[in-house]
Amino acid sequence: MLSETQIRQFRQDGYLVVENVIDTTTLDAVQAEYAGLLDGLYEGWQRQGLLPVPDPGWSFWERLDRIRAAGLEWFQPMDISLPHDGITEDTPMHFGPAVFDLLTHRRILDIVETLIGGEITSNPIQHVRIKPPQREVPGDEARAHIVSTAWHQDQGVTLEEADETDFVTVWIAVTDANVRNGCLQLIPNPPAEMLPHCPQGQTAIAPGHLDASRAVAAEIGAGGIILIDPYTPHSAGPNRSDGYRWSFDIRYNVIGQPTGRPQFPDFVARSRAAPETELKDWRMWLQSWRDARHHLANTAHRPQHRWPADAPFCA
């Protein structure tokens, strides 16, 4: 739970850094789950002759280095979401028990409850971010989950139907995040309004609408979380270190309110009024995403964002 002082600080600053929220057992399980996923990907590409036989002593990161160097699509199979468009019946994604346990972690839900109440939906606007050293990223890579993240507000990447939704973003550090490896930068004391955004590579706040000189770097240790108000402008710099920076960003909103991305499935993470409605089986979570993928692969594309590229403020 958050103290009254922490709640006031969050309301005032628009964000809050909370260290030591996620226990090492949960983090170890997530890392082990992803190691198994990566091993399966590596073996499949090796059978196709695209990768060499791995050295038994290679770490998770060393295997991922080989996959990246071979130019293979490693990110989407690891993401806990589907892409913006081009979804097919076999678009890869990852929804496993360890990640489900992370999203439904008691301490996270306790903290979220102090901000939005005890009727909590796990919002489907969510991603893993595994950011390699910037110098090793291809020049044409623009995805915010891999390279630096442009300035944006989380409210700005929802559809209009969620403009009155009460939600909060929880940014989870799996590895330490610092200025060198591209930790979050946030603008404190944000206005309670949405700034115009432009879909130029990434969906970002339009030029001239942000004073980035007020930015604060939010360094945090593995297992900590950063709570972010939906109107707080934030970004993440390039990873200038020699290692990877790993995090998840997930959201929660009040049950019954629009999620801002209705084509993707949400679920009840906690309900004080009707606990029997809480989702407990990660396999049902996985199946809901499989069902969404099947539907989206066979229907007309629906935009995930509201912003037109030809808006006057994007010129």
What pLDDT, on a 0 to 100 scale, did the predictor assign at position 225?
Answer: 98
80: helix, strand or coil: coil
Average pLDDT score over residue span 274-287: 98
Task: Give the pLDDT of residue 312.
Answer: 82
Section 155-162 average pLDDT: 94
Question: Which has more pLDDT, 117 or 56?
Answer: 117
Is the predicted pLDDT of residue 136 greater than 90, yes or no?
no
How much is the average pLDDT of 234-247?
95
CA nearest to 260, candidates 153, 187, 185: 153
Per-residue confidence band for 219, with pLDDT thresholds at 50, 70 and 90:
very high
302 band by pLDDT with thresholds 50, 70 and 90: confident
Model confidence at 144: pLDDT above 80: no
* pLDDT above 80: residue 45: yes
Confidence of residue 39 (pLDDT cuts 50, 70, 90): very high
The percent of residues above 70 in pLDDT, for the chain, comes to 100
Rounded mean pLDDT of the chain? 95
Q: Which residue has the higher pLDDT, 302 or 133?
A: 133
- Does this model's pTM top 0.75? yes
Least confident of 120-134, 142-156, 158-172: 142-156
Least confident of 40-44, 64-68, 142-146, 261-265: 142-146
196-199, Cβ contacts within 8 angstroms, sequence gap of 24 or more: 196/307, 196/311, 196/313, 197/152, 197/153, 197/156, 197/157, 197/305, 197/307, 198/307, 198/309, 198/311, 198/313, 198/314, 199/305, 199/307, 199/308, 199/309, 199/314
Provide the pLDDT for residue 231: 96
Q: Which of 17, 18, 84, 15 is nearest to 233 (CA)?
A: 15
Asked if residue 252 has pLDDT above 90, the reply is: yes
Structural domain boundaries in the chain? 12-22+104-300
What is the CATH number assigned to the segment(s) 12-22+104-300?
Answer: 2.60.120.620
First to last CA, the chain: 45
Mean pLDDT of 298-311: 86
Burial of 18 (0-12, 13-18, 19+ CB in 10 A): middle
pLDDT value, residue 43 = 97
Q: 181-209: per-residue pLDDT in tens? A: 999 999 999 888 999 999 878 899 998 89
pLDDT value, residue 90: 97
Q: For residue 143, name the pLDDT band (cuts at 50, 70, 90).
A: confident
